[in-house]
């Protein structure tokens, strides 16, 4: 780790987020106040790439890619917007960033020289358009690599063995399986590739003018890295493609410094030459930092189109059946776990529409007319094929208090069943991957609803806090910029909690009713049994 020195008196810290649909930035000061935000939308601001939602879907319905040059142009445009707004680049002490997880950027043997030799006076894109050995970067929405996943699990001793080694069973979107597919189907492109970056490490590479390392946290989303040794696993590399360790390069802890911003940004935009670039990471790890989940037992439940449950944990407990374990992005000795549900807010809205209510307020009042535990009635609302656990049969399954399947519930029971079912499922599947909440931070649209928060708090038996999640990945990257910069300055690892000491606390929204919690605990086995039955 390089020691840093900065003469900047009122430092600013920049968090960049290269997400699927756009490139955003959140800027904070040393007291962690947000002082500015800027954004570029790929479809609207860069229409020449003809993306929809930032991506291209192939006709096979499985292959999904994005043009990596678009990400370069987006950085040009974003910095230009900031310059036009008079942004004080010279005050930036450190930058870190976030990238959509799993996506990869394939660079040819001209890339390193081009990155190192950038000249002020013309755009990044005009100088870097020739550096890609693949003009279409595979991204996380791609699901075309089932054959490669099957091979990986067979060669490494099964799904659970892959999960134990890399943190997750083989998933189609994970980078190793994407690399294996490209090596098998397009060996020429693989041969002409000198370096394979993640979206996160690629964006950092632009800033430092060299290949930036992949961080251990985003590296955990590749099915290639041992989550325990935090090094590439030779077994996992061997069943992917030859010569891969060289192409992937270095791995670094997420708080380490990747380098200084290169001269191009100093001359072109007025950055301080001492401005540090802290290693970039994935969007989910950055959200963990942005939501300040620094202690074991700090869990966030994000209630969005898809629901996500994630949090910090001390010991990894990988499971082939659900979720992912990543190395923790703010504590190199800890881990984070994450599970995702496809049936989130659209499913809750579907159930609300089944009940004759006009608003979420009326829906909440209706839920309150059915007792906690719903008199043993349990419902499964599978509008979309579910991934946690895998339930491919869509439909609604309702079970009466005696365990018999029934055709309908009263409206009040229906309204309550979807909420209780979703949180019971999160409790069961979260615990299988080691998530044991001490507190929950609820984010996303439905987190403003007091009834939702009450059921969540009672099911888990812990207090629930509420917080902002808009731009949590970019904000997390800005926090990590402060963290990495401080560690660099001190020449040692500083706990992330020390960095966040001045951040305003989240607001408590519910304390659990422990009698209700006991009732939910008593329902867990029956819920799991019924769920097994419908999962088949
Ligand atoms: C996580 O595993 C995912 O695939 C997504 O959340 C992407 O990171 C979105 F960018």
Distance (angstroms) between ligand 1 centre and the Cα of 99 equals 9
Distance (angstroms) between ligand 1 centre and the Cα of 247 equals 23
| Structural domain total, the chain | 2
pTM of the shown model: 0.94
Residue 500 inside a domain? The answer is: no
CA 481 to chain centre: 17
Residues 279 and 326 reside in one and the same domain: no
Distance (angstroms) between ligand 1 centre and the Cα of 101 equals 5
Question: Which among 228, 260, 284 is the end of a domain?
Answer: 284
Q: For the segment 435-447, what is each residue's pLDDT rounded down to a tens digit?
A: 999 999 999 888 8
Residue 474 inside a domain? The answer is: no
What is residue 65's three-state secondary structure? strand
Contact assessment for residue 51 and residue 23, using Cβ atoms and an 8 Å cutoff: no
pLDDT, averaged across the chain: 95
Which of 281, 324, 311 minimizes the C-alpha distance to 164?
324
The residue whose CB lies within 8 Å of the most ligand 1 atoms, and thus the one to mutate among 55, 66, 140, 280, is 140
pLDDT of 468: 77
Question: What is the C-alpha to C-alpha distance for residues 57 and 142, in angstroms, rounded to an integer?
Answer: 9
CA atoms within 13 A on the CB side of 171: 28
Tell me how crowded residue 63 is: count the other CB atoms within 10 A of its CB: 18
Pairing state between β 464-466 and 378-382:
unpaired
Distance (angstroms) between ligand 1 centre and the Cα of 20 equals 9
Residue 486 inside a domain? The answer is: no
Query: From the alpha carbon of 101, which atom of ligand 1 is closest?
Result: 8
Residues 265 and 300 reside in one and the same domain: no
Residues 262 and 353 reside in one and the same domain: no
Which of 288, 280, 279, 283 minimizes the C-alpha distance to 256?
279
Residues 274 and 297 reside in one and the same domain: no
Residues 180 and 301 reside in one and the same domain: no
Residues 96 and 135 reside in one and the same domain: yes
Question: Which among 284, 310, 329 is the end of a domain?
Answer: 284
Which of 524, 528, 531 minimizes the C-alpha distance to 381?
531
- Look up the domain containing 334 and give its range: 293-466+506-536
Residues 526 and 403 reside in one and the same domain: yes
Q: How many helices (H) and strands (E) does the chain have?
A: 21, 26
Which of 249, 138, 141, 245 minimizes the C-alpha distance to 204?
249
pLDDT of 392: 83
Q: Read off the CATH number of the domain in which 117 is found.
A: 3.30.420.40
Q: Is the shortest distance between the CB of 172 and ligand 1 below 6 Å?
A: no
Q: For the segment 458-479, what is each residue's pLDDT rounded down to a tens digit?
A: 999 999 999 877 789 999 999 9
Distance (angstroms) between ligand 1 centre and the Cα of 371 equals 37
pLDDT of 4: 44
Residue 476 inside a domain? The answer is: no
Question: What is the C-alpha to C-alpha distance for residues 473 and 282, in angstroms, rounded to an integer?
Answer: 8
Contact assessment for residue 262 and residue 360, using Cβ atoms and an 8 Å cutoff: no
Q: Is the shortest distance between the CB of 193 and ligand 1 below 6 Å?
A: no
Exposure string of 360-397, with b = 16+ CB inside 10 Å and e = fewer, is beebbebbeebebbbeebbbbbbbeebbbbebeeeebb
Q: Is the shortest distance between the CB of 284 and ligand 1 below 6 Å?
A: yes
Residue 124 inside a domain? The answer is: yes
Question: What is the C-alpha to C-alpha distance for residues 98 and 330, in angstroms, rounded to an integer?
Answer: 13
Residues 95 and 228 reside in one and the same domain: yes
Residues 264 and 362 reside in one and the same domain: no
Residues 218 and 314 reside in one and the same domain: no
Question: Which among 253, 284, 315 is the end of a domain?
Answer: 284
Ranges in the chain, pLDDT < 50: 1-5
Residue 24 inside a domain? The answer is: yes
Residues 332 and 238 reside in one and the same domain: no
pLDDT of 3: 37
Residues 204 and 320 reside in one and the same domain: no
Residue with tokens 């209630």: 303
Q: Is the shortest distance between the CB of 101 and ligand 1 below 6 Å?
A: yes
pLDDT of 1: 33
pLDDT of 33: 94
Residue 462 inside a domain? The answer is: yes
> Residue 24 pairs with which residues in a beta bridge?
17, 39
Residues 6+ apart with CB under 8 A from 326: 167, 217, 218, 220, 221, 227, 282, 284, 285, 335, 336, 337, 338
Q: Is the shortest distance between the CB of 281 and ligand 1 below 6 Å?
A: no
Query: From the alpha carbon of 282, which atom of ligand 1 is closest?
Result: 8
Residue 312 inside a domain? The answer is: yes
């Amino acid at each position: 780790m390089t020691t840093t020195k900065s003469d900047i008196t009122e430092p600013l810290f920049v968090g960049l987020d290269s997400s699927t649909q756009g490139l955003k930035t959140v800027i904070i000061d040393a007291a962690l106040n947000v002082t500015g935000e800027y954004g570029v939308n790929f479809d609207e601001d860069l229409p020449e790439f003809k993306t929809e939602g930032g991506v291209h879907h192939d006709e096979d319905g499985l292959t999904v890619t994005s043009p990596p040059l678009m990400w370069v142009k987006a950085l040009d445009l974003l910095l230009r917007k900031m310059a036009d707004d008079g942004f004080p680049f010279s005050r930036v002490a450190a930058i870190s960033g976030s990238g959509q997880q799993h996506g990869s950027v394939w660079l040819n043997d001209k890339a390193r020289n081009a990155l190192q030799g950038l000249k002020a006076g013309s755009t990044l894109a005009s100088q870097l358009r020739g550096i890609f050995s693949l003009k279409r970067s595979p991204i996380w929405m791609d699901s075309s690599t089932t054959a490669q996943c099957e091979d990986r699990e067979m060669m490494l001793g099964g799904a659970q063995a892959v999960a134990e080694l890399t943190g997750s069973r083989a998933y189609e979107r994970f980078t190793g399986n994407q690399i294996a597919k490209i090596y098998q189907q397009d060996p020429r492109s693989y041969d002409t590739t000198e370096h394979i970056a993640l979206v996160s490490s690629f964006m950092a590479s632009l800033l430092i003018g060299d290949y930036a390392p992949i961080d251990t946290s985003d590296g955990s989303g590749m099915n290639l890295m041992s989550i325990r040794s935090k090094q590439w696993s030779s077994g996992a590399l061997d069943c992917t493609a030859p010569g891969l360790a060289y192409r992937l390069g270095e791995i670094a802890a997420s708080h380490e410094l990747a380098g200084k911003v290169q001269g191009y940004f100093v001359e072109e935009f007025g950055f301080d030459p001492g401005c540090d670039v802290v290693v970039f990471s994935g969007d989910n790890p950055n959200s963990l930092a942005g939501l300040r989940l620094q202690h074991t037992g700090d869990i966030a439940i994000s209630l969005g189109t898809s629901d996500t449950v994630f949090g910090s944990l001390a010991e990894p407990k990988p499971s082939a059946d659900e979720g992912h374990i990543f190395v923790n992005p703010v504590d190199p000795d800890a881990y984070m776990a994450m599970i995702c549900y496809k049936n989130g807010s659209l499913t809750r809205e579907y159930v609300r529409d089944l009940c004759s209510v006009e608003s979420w307020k009326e829906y909440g009042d209706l839920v309150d007319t059915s007792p906690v535990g719903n008199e043993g009635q349990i419902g499964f609302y599978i509008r979309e094929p579910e991934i946690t656990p895998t339930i491919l049969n869509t439909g609604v399954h309702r079970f009466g208090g005696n365990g018999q399947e029934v055709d309908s519930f009263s409206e009040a029971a229906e309204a309550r069943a979807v909420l209780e079912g979703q949180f019971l499922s999160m409790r069961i599947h979260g615990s299988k991957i080691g998530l044991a909440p001490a507190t929950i931070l609820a984010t996303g649209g439905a987190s403003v609803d007091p009834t939702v928060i009450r059921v969540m708090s009672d099911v888990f038996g812990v207090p629930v806090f509420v917080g902002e999640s808009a731009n949590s990945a970019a904000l997390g990257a800005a926090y990590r910029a402060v963290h990495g910069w401080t560690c660099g300055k001190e020449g040692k690892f500083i706990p992330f909690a020390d960095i966040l000491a001045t951040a305003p606390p989240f607001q408590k929204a519910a304390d659990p009713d422990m009698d209700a919690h006991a009732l939910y605990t008593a329902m867990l086995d029956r819920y799991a049994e019924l769920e097994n039955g419908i999962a088949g």
